[in-house]
Structure 1
């Protein structure tokens, strides 16, 4: 029972020892751009296998601006404490249970020790990053003369819904939700949808459908596909709402 914690501890130590010479190597490669070593201190990043502590050097460039060269090279933010994979997995788990339950599950089943408040902070940060990625995907679709060829399917299923949820300070917001999938698979008596892809956002209805359109265009080639749609018939999810993102490609409701 002690083998796994010992292995994780050994791995984190080895990772930390590897990072230090890597940082020096990057410094040597960039020595023409950085003139002065201002400070040397430690940083700890929590990975799925444990916390890695390493030494890094604060350098000054020719204009006097400070840089942690290794951190910038690998993509660590200034006050980042968790690896990108940990942050994504925390956000995914938090979408299925409470923040407190997320923190408890992580502590019991992984080497990640985290408070429920930090879970909330990570969820908000990942959400902002995803929102920015969605925005860029929409802008790319609007500006592109053509897109790379996506997956060809005979039938694509799309469902959409909207629901109002209560937030803090007696405020409520509408959450737009869509799911796109390629059909069903049977496993005995169990049914599972095939290749589900989900879009969920609190932006306006028009922006939501633009995201659905960009998402479908990036993943599929729908010229010969038949689109089967379903919704609750609400104002923003009626049959005509599906026509723009799917360009009337044989839409059935």
Structure 2
């Protein structure tokens, strides 16, 4: 950049500082000035890049046409720049190298990076409207609640695309590369929400981790925890099952499962997820047992006695507590609740036994954590005075990505290059798949990643 240009902006900044405006007004003007400076550099850089590729494009038969202006919102501010369209024939659709370099699609108002910021902020704020207001306060950009909603839905689509790709082309890992651990823990539960049409919708959450590790004197945490989330229970369950098969050497691993035993989260479901493994132990979540006691025991002073009987693991003690409890009941409703509780506890009795009662010398750690982990989802998805629409799955996937750390991989679709099949294998498969199946592999059309150089091949628009 020429020194005179720097001097010009230095003088403008000095004028802002010397002005009689209050400090807030001064900082706002400084922000606008820095935006203007960046815009100047932006335009100069695009001009330099276009000069570099003009000759190569000309050799391919492209002609430069009249420059066109475009405005795009970036995280650092709004950029207005001109770029050159190229065509082989005047009736062809224009090709803009600058748009390719910057990863900009046609009519795209927000840059890929700024859209990513919107997606990352949205889960931390309780509504789309509040998200847009926060962004508008912190930047010179203008973002509406509809823009936030579309960004969330876009992430949901890309997450679905990512998970679907994993189902079609599961990652191949040799046994020697698979994780070999003594134990893994899996839990599952669902959260219910009301949709805009009044129907109920569930978000299903499965979690996986390798046990507990000490991170400080007074703090422990689960190791390698991952979340498998979807509004379709089968999808979330199948992703967890596939992950175990491709990432763990299961033949010697003890699988410890825990749930409330509700529909879709029974012992059989978790046995199916675990598949062939070293051993399998299923527990009914003690938090839900405690809630069941509070719900069904009509005389509160008996709740500790029921807890002691359950902890002892001796069915005779439980029956003695029931005998004493029922001798103090008076109404039909009380006996009704007692019968319900008795059936519940006896039905799940073997799943309430402790590790010791099952013959294991294992410290009870890392199990029964689902309720605390669900708060990450319920805080954002529930109790905010709204009914969800199509954005529910997108928001759930964003919340899961916050925990799993895979936001960038899903958003940029970098997995396409990491997991793609080589050309020869794709050719062999095409001979075996009919047209209906091939529709599964239609490329997703969306924002392209920017490139700094043009390839030799022709651009297909």
| TM-score interval, normalised by the smaller of the two chains | 0.7 to 0.9
Equivalent runs, 1:69-218 vs 2, <5 Å: 69-96=97-124, 97-110=126-139, 112-141=141-170, 146-147=172-173, 149=177, 153-184=181-212, 185-186=214-215, 192-203=221-232, 205-216=233-244
CA RMSD of aligned residues (A): 3.3
The 3 A distance-change label for structure 1 pair 151 and 92 is: farther
Deviation at 1:230, TM superposition (A): 2.5
Deviation at 1:121, TM superposition (A): 1.0
In 2, the alpha carbon distance for the partners of 1:60 and 1:107 equals 38
1:90/1:119 contact within 8 Å kept: yes
Deviation at 1:139, TM superposition (A): 0.9
- The answer on 1:237 being equivalent to 2:265 is yes
The 3 A distance-change label for structure 1 pair 102 and 156 is: farther
The 3 A distance-change label for structure 1 pair 186 and 39 is: same
Equivalent position SS for 2:95? strand
Q: Which has the larger radius of gyration?
A: 2
**TM-score when normalising by structure 1:** 0.77
1:12/1:49 contact within 8 Å kept: no
The 3 A distance-change label for structure 1 pair 242 and 125 is: same
Q: Which has the higher contact order (CA 8 A, sep 6+)?
A: 2
The runs of 5 or more residues in structure 1 that have no matched partner are none
The runs of 5 or more residues in structure 2 that have no matched partner are 1-22, 283-461
Deviation at 1:227, TM superposition (A): 3.4
The 3 A distance-change label for structure 1 pair 84 and 226 is: farther
> Who is 2:77 aligned against?
50
> Who is 2:376 aligned against?
none
Deviation at 1:122, TM superposition (A): 0.8
Deviation at 1:11, TM superposition (A): 3.8
**TM-score when normalising by structure 2:** 0.46
Q: Which has the higher strand share?
A: 1
In 1, the alpha carbon distance for the partners of 2:217 and 2:35 equals 39
2:63/2:87 contact within 8 Å kept: yes
Equivalent position SS for 1:165? strand
Equivalent position SS for 2:84? strand
